[in-house]
A and B are shown apart, each in its own frame.
Chain A
Amino acid sequence: MDDQRREVMRFASVFGLMASVGLIAPAKAEAWSRAAFAEKSLDAVFRVLGASGAETSSALTFTAPEIAENGAVVPVVVSSSSSAEQIAILVEKNPNPLAAQFFFTARTESFVAARIKMAETSRVYALVKAEGIWTMAVKEIKVTLGGCGG
């Protein structure tokens, strides 16, 4: 027990030292989070993002068509009246729900427009993280022609 603890302490000090001299870079949000994009369920993506408790908010505006004739190109616009640090777009019924995420700085407006693919009619989630708190807006988008497969 004591040995184990000593071992842990030793590792901790070595890592601490490496971090302090810059050998280990602090986790950066900008590094592509492969794991989040590989998740296959909505719940899992929410968990990976740390957004499991997200509630709908009127501060958030999510614009997307109700009917998308072509699932290969579905325009989405997300904006927020609070100062967003991160925005994520999730398509519940896509093979991998997380479609895209965006990181903002203090100089960037809480606004983004992009185009996503949808495999089939699905609920689409716009998630906004502001001051460390996730909020969301949900929209059902009907797809007449799927955008994946084919």
Chain B
Amino acid sequence: MRIRAQENKGRVDVKILIRHDMESGLRKSQNGNLVPAWYIHTLKVEAQGTEVFNAQFGPAVSRDPFVNFRYQGAKGDKLIVTWMDTQNDSRRDEVIVS
């Protein structure tokens, strides 16, 4: 996961880029079989232990999802970014707001 969180005048701009195929379940592989659906369904962000952002995705979110949002925060805030996908795979990353 690539996370960039920068504070400017009390507002933190958060950009998240996740590597994930986001298979929709509608794509056919080269041998003509459908590739099973496999995508991130939830992405949440906590700042200093409080949830500030929660996203729910369907299969129509692009491969390698990108999200940008903003919240009222400060330099040094600890962000915890977590995603979960439809195969119960998940990942959790931390970043300090700069």
A57 at the interface (CB under 8 A from B): no
Instruction: Assess the A98–B51 pair: CB atoms within 8 A.
Output: no
Size bin of chain B's contact surface? 20 to 34
Answer whether residue B63 sits at the interface, using C-beta atoms and an 8 A cutoff.
Answer: yes
Closest chain-A Cβ to B17's Cβ sits at a distance in Å of: 10
Residues of A within 8 A of B47 (CB): 107
- Main SS class of interface, B: strand
The answer to whether A100 touches B61 (Cβ under 8 A) is yes
Contacting A at CB under 8 A, from B18-65, are 24, 26-28, 41-42, 44, 47, 50-63, 65
CB contact between A37 and one of B58, B63, B67 (< 8 Å): that residue: B58
Q: Is A99 an interface residue (CB 8 A)?
A: yes
Say whether A145 faces chain B, with CB atoms less than 8 Å apart.
Answer: no
Partner of A117, one of B24, B68, B73: B24
Are A109 and B70 in contact, with the CB atoms below 8 A? yes
Residues of B within 8 A of A132 (CB): none
Instruction: Please tell me which stretch of A4-12, A17-25, A88-96, A136-144 contacts chain B, meaning at least 4 of its Cβ atoms lie within 8 angstroms of it.
Output: A88-96
Contact B54 A109 (CB under 8 A): no
State whether A103 and B61 are in contact (beta carbons under 8 Å apart), knowing that A32-B41, A113-B68 are contacts in the complex: no
Q: Judging by beta carbons under 8 Å apart, are A116 and B55 in contact?
A: no
Ordered by A's residue number, 14 sampled pairs between the chains whose C-beta atoms are within 8 Å are: A30-B44, A32-B42, A32-B84, A37-B56, A37-B58, A100-B58, A102-B54, A107-B72, A112-B69, A113-B67, A114-B66, A116-B60, A149-B26, A150-B28
Seen from chain A, the residues whose Cβ lies within 8 Å of a Cβ on chain B are 29-30, 32-34, 37, 72-74, 91, 94-96, 98-105, 107-109, 111-118, 147-150
* Known pairs A33-B56, A103-B55, A107-B72 / 20 extra A-B pairs, C-beta < 8 Å: A98-B58, A99-B58, A100-B55, A100-B61, A102-B55, A102-B69, A103-B53, A103-B54, A103-B56, A105-B52, A105-B71, A109-B11, A109-B69, A109-B71, A109-B72, A115-B62, A115-B65, A148-B27, A149-B27, A150-B28
